[in-house]
Amino acid sequence: MPPFVAFAGALGGLAVVRWAYRTARRINEELEEARRLRMAEAAPVREIPTLRRDPRTGTYRPG
Protein backbone atom coordinates (compact mmCIF):
# COMPACT_ATOMS: atom_id res chain seq x y z
CA MET A 1 0.00 0.00 0.00
CA PRO A 2 2.76 2.61 0.72
CA PRO A 3 4.11 2.44 -2.87
CA PHE A 4 0.59 3.11 -4.11
CA VAL A 5 0.28 6.14 -1.81
CA ALA A 6 3.64 7.48 -3.02
CA PHE A 7 2.61 6.95 -6.64
CA ALA A 8 -0.73 8.69 -6.06
CA GLY A 9 1.06 11.57 -4.34
CA ALA A 10 3.47 11.92 -7.25
CA LEU A 11 0.60 11.96 -9.74
CA GLY A 12 -1.23 14.54 -7.65
CA GLY A 13 1.90 16.67 -7.48
CA LEU A 14 2.34 16.49 -11.24
CA ALA A 15 -1.29 17.50 -11.72
CA VAL A 16 -0.81 20.54 -9.48
CA VAL A 17 2.37 21.57 -11.32
CA ARG A 18 0.63 21.20 -14.69
CA TRP A 19 -2.35 23.25 -13.50
CA ALA A 20 -0.05 25.99 -12.11
CA TYR A 21 1.97 26.09 -15.35
CA ARG A 22 -1.13 26.39 -17.53
CA THR A 23 -2.60 29.07 -15.28
CA ALA A 24 0.62 31.08 -15.34
CA ARG A 25 0.78 30.89 -19.15
CA ARG A 26 -2.88 31.92 -19.48
CA ILE A 27 -2.40 34.90 -17.17
CA ASN A 28 0.77 35.98 -18.97
CA GLU A 29 -1.01 35.78 -22.33
CA GLU A 30 -3.86 37.92 -20.99
CA LEU A 31 -1.41 40.48 -19.63
CA GLU A 32 0.52 40.55 -22.90
CA GLU A 33 -2.71 41.10 -24.86
CA ALA A 34 -3.71 43.94 -22.53
CA ARG A 35 -0.25 45.49 -22.96
CA ARG A 36 -0.52 45.25 -26.75
CA LEU A 37 -3.95 46.91 -26.72
CA ARG A 38 -2.70 49.69 -24.46
CA MET A 39 0.28 50.32 -26.72
CA ALA A 40 -2.00 50.39 -29.78
CA GLU A 41 -4.21 53.01 -28.12
CA ALA A 42 -1.25 55.24 -27.25
CA ALA A 43 -0.88 58.38 -29.29
CA PRO A 44 1.59 58.15 -32.16
CA VAL A 45 4.85 59.97 -31.60
CA ARG A 46 3.98 62.61 -34.20
CA GLU A 47 0.89 63.67 -32.24
CA ILE A 48 2.75 64.25 -28.97
CA PRO A 49 3.66 67.93 -28.75
CA THR A 50 7.31 68.71 -28.14
CA LEU A 51 8.40 71.28 -25.62
CA ARG A 52 10.22 74.37 -26.81
CA ARG A 53 11.93 76.95 -24.68
CA ASP A 54 10.30 80.38 -24.59
CA PRO A 55 13.14 82.87 -25.16
CA ARG A 56 11.46 85.62 -23.09
CA THR A 57 10.61 83.67 -19.96
CA GLY A 58 12.94 80.66 -20.23
CA THR A 59 10.13 78.22 -19.49
CA TYR A 60 9.29 75.28 -21.69
CA ARG A 61 5.97 75.30 -23.51
CA PRO A 62 4.36 72.95 -26.01
CA GLY A 63 4.81 74.09 -29.54
Instruction: Report residue 34's pLDDT band, with 50, 70 and 90 as the boundaries.
Output: very high
Q: Where are the domains of the chain?
A: 2-62
The per-residue pLDDT for 31 is 97
Mean pLDDT (whole number) for 20-27: 98
pLDDT of res. 23? 98
Question: Which pLDDT band holds residue 61 (cuts at 50, 70, 90)?
Answer: confident
Stated pTM of the model: 0.57
Would you list the DSSP string of 5-62? HHHHHHHHHHHHHHHHHHHHHHHHHHHHHHHHHHHHHSPPGGGSPPEEE-TTT--EEE
